[in-house]
Chains A and B, each alone.
Chain A
Amino acid sequence: MEPGDSTKQARAAAQLRKGVLEYCVLALMRDRPRYGVELLHALEESGALATSQGTVYPLLSRLRRDDLVTTTWQESASGPPRRYYALTDSGRAALDEFTRVWPGFRNAVDAFLNTPHPSTGDLA
């Protein structure tokens, strides 16, 4: 069964978002460890999360397996103990690298999107 064009586009958009989402997650841990619900709230409020909240947990699981984050259990004054996620050294390195590369990538894409007829000569 071939997916329709709209499905393909939705999937492409989802793939794009997914690729960037993990760096948003890493960026949220830049200053301090965060627990799952806290991360999801921040993502949802920012609008970076297009899918449902629950899909972030498999992502966090992969980040942990890839040794980009570590987890620790911490007791809470209210409610159950929480699993806190913190950046590892390689997680911080990955985030720094993405932070370095992203502006150039974003500007390049913007340039394509904002130029209706790409000029082969000098830009005015």
Chain B
Amino acid sequence: MKTSADLVRDYLSAVERETSALPADRRQELLADLAEHVEVTRAERPDAAIGEVLAELGDPRTIAATALAEAGSGAAGVPARGDAGAPARRGKVHPLVPLLMLTLSVPFIMVFPYLPGPLFGVLFRITGAVLLCTSVHWTAVQKTTGVLLTVVLPTVLFTTWNLANGNTSSAAPTVVSTLANLAVLVPIAGTAAWLWRVRRA
């Protein structure tokens, strides 16, 4: 004879199994929500059998399918059974990675103004742009806007700055160049923050 705790644990394990394609934090949140639901319901309806409470909550597979659909892993709604591995494979790069690479490229150049510092900064920016464009976390429009504001705009500004100031003072950090770098960092960081907010999981 299984105890109530066993039944709840089995139920949550089933949900956990069925949501293996979900990001870990999303899965934990769902499990916490369901666990809380069971606890609150039992506090409010002490006479209700645990089996009844779990039956009302629903089939773990239905809940998992809804969670996967809400997470946007299936473009056409509920993903077909059996391809649960696909969303996990596609969303491998964490959305923070391209955003941090793009944002940190500027402070990196400020900290290491002499070669090969700027070279690495440029590499960061290119890698960040590629990761951003290949990510599943944003729409095409968001990606284009992101690349324009975090890559194209700073590159144009830096190039203009360097051309206007000649090559003699380009490497040595001055108050003015630091301020200019910070001014470029603002739209980049702002865009990165926006992309972070609008990302889909």
Contacts and interface: CB of A to CB of B under 8 A. Distances in A.
How big is the A interface, by class? 20 to 34
B10 interface: no
A53 B56 contact: yes
A52 B63 CA distance: 8
A4 B134 CA distance: 36
B9 to A, nearest CB: 16
Contacts of A35: 40
Nearest to B69: A58
Per DSSP, chain B at the interface is: helix
Contacts of B201: 65
Contact of A61 (B26, B44, B197): B26
Contacts of B37: 36-37, 40, 53-54, 57
B51 to A, nearest CB: 14
Contacts of A62: 70-71
B34 A79 contact: no
A59 interface: yes
Contacts of A55: 58, 62-63, 66
A55 B57 CA distance: 8
How big is the B interface, by class? 20 to 34
Interface string B37-54: 101111110000000000
Contacts of A40: 37
B77 A57 contact: no
Interface in A1-41: 11, 15, 35-37, 40
Contacts of B71: 58, 62
A58 B67 contact: yes
A52 B59 contact: yes
A9 to B, nearest CB: 14
Nearest to B31: A57
B59 to A, nearest CB: 7
Contacts of A67: 197
Interface of A: 11, 15, 35-37, 40, 51-55, 57-62, 65, 67, 76, 78-80, 82-83
Interface of B: 26, 29-30, 33-34, 36-37, 39-44, 56-60, 62-63, 66-67, 69-71, 77-78, 197, 201
